[in-house]
Amino acid sequence: MTEEAPAPLLKLRNIRKSFGDLEVLKGIDLDVAKGEVVSIIGASGSGKSTFLRSINAIEPADKGTMDFDGQQFDFDRDSRYYPSARQLQALRARIGMVFQSYNLWPHKTVLENVIHAPMNVLGQSRAEATEVAGALLDRIGLYDKKDSSPQRLSGGQQQRVAIARALAMKPRLMLFDEVTSALDPELVHEVLMLMASLAKEGMTMLLVTHEMSFARDVSSRVLFFDRGVIGEQGAPSKVLRDPESPRLRQFLHSILHDDLSQAGAAKGLIQ
C-alpha cells in the first residue's frame, strides 16, 4: 500500500454466484498483489468458502471477471473468455488449495499423495517429483512418514501434508479454507507455523480463518465478508482493532470470547 503497486497477481471484478435462489456472492471486487497475505473473516454462511472456490473455479462463479497471472477469464457463460475445461485445469494447477478436512487420498501413501499431481498434471518424472516431495516432507518434518498411510497421521500432520501436496505444484497463489478449524487445539499451532513461514517467504496467500491472532500478525490485509459482499477491509490493525461498521464490531465481539482463550497460544508465532 505504500510503494507503487505492480500489476496485481489476482484481479477479481464483480464476482457473483448463486445456488438456486440463494445469492451467495453479490459482486466481489478484489486485487491481490504478489506476496500479499489476505485474511478473510466473517460469519458462517457469509460466502467465504464459496468465494475461495470460485477463484480456482472448482465451483465457478456465474458472473464476473478474473485476471490471474496475466490470464483473463470471464465467468459469464456467454462470454468468449469463458474458460474451457482445459483452461480451468491449467488454472487450478497454478493455484494451491488447502481444505478444512485435509482431503488427503487414503489409498495412497503420504509420498504418493505429494507426487501424484506433479507427475500426472505437470508431467514430472517420478525421480524429479520424488525429490521435490522429499524436500517438502523434510521441511514439514514428516519425511520419515513418507511411506505411511495418511490415515495413520494426526490431523495436524495430515494438514501439513496437504499443504506440501499443494506446494509441490509450485503454485503462484495459495488458498486456505479454515485449515485449522477441524484440528484439536494443540495441533493448530504446527499448521499455523507452516503457513506463517510460507507467508514470510513471499507466498501469495488468501485465507479464510477464525484465528484472529494469525490474521492480525501474519496478514497484510483483512477482509470482512458480510452476506456475500466485502463489508470492510484494510490493514489488520485497522479492521480488527478499530472496525467501522456495526456488523463487523458485532462479529468481532461474538468471536472474541472464543478467541481470547487461544490468543495466548498463537502469540509469538512470528518472531
Partner 1 sequence: MSGYLNDIQVYGPGFLSAAWTVLWLTLLTIVLSWVFGLAAALGQRSDLAWVRAIAAFYVWFIRGTPALIQIFIVYFGMPQLGIRLSPYTAGVLALAINSGAYVTEIIRSGLQAIPKGQTESSLALGFSQRATMRTIILPQVARIILPSITNEALSTLKNTSLLSTITVVELTLYAQTLISATFRPFDFYIAVAIIYLVLTTILTQLAAFFERRYARLY
Ligand X SMILES: Nc1ncnc2c1ncn2[C@@H]1O[C@H](COP(=O)(O)OP(=O)(O)O)[C@@H](O)[C@H]1O
Stretch that binds ligand X, among 47-55, 88-96, 154-162, 164-172 (CB under 6 A): 47-55
**Which candidate, 218, 229, 203, places its Cα nearest to that of 46?**
229
| Interface segment toward Mg ion; rule CB under 5 A; list 20-28, 33-41, 48-56, 122-130 | 48-56
Q: Which of 92, 145, 146, 221 touches partner 1 (CB under 8 A)?
A: 92
- 169 belongs to the binding site for partner 1 (CB under 8 A): yes
Shortest CB 239 distance to ligand X, Å: 17
Sign of CA pseudo-dihedral 139, 143, 147, 149:
negative
Beta-bridge partner residues of 205:
37, 174
The correct pick among 47, 60, 118, 171 for binding ligand X (CB under 6 A) is 47
Least distance (Å) from partner 1 to the CB of residue 226?
25
CA distance linking residue 136 with residue 160, whole number of Å: 10
Binding segment toward partner 1, per CB under 8 A, in 8-16, 97-105, 211-219, 262-270: 97-105
105 binds partner 1 per the rule CB under 8 A: yes
Q: Which cell is 251 given?
A: 462479529
**The entry of partner 1, ligand X, Mg ion, none that residue 56 binds, CB within 5 to 8 Å by partner kind:** partner 1
Please tell me whether residue 89 binds partner 1 under the rule CB under 8 A.
yes
**Residue 172 DSSP class:** S
Span from 28-36, 45-53, 108-116, 189-197 in contact with ligand X (CB under 6 A): 45-53
Phi, psi of 148 (to 5 degrees): -80, 160
Count the alpha carbons within 13 Å of 158 in the hemisphere toward its beta carbon: 21
DSSP β-bridge partners for residue 26: 16
Which option in partner 1, Mg ion, ligand X, none does residue 81 bind, with CB closer than 5 to 8 A by kind? none
In 3D space, the residue among 94, 128, 89, 73 whose CA is nearest the CA of residue 203 turns out to be 94
Q: Which of 21, 13, 96, 115 is nearest to 58 (CA)?
A: 96
Biggest CA-to-CA distance, the chain: 55
Residues at the contact surface with partner 1, assessed by CB under 8 A: 56, 58, 85, 89-90, 92-97, 99, 101-107, 116-117, 120-121, 149, 151, 162, 165-166, 169
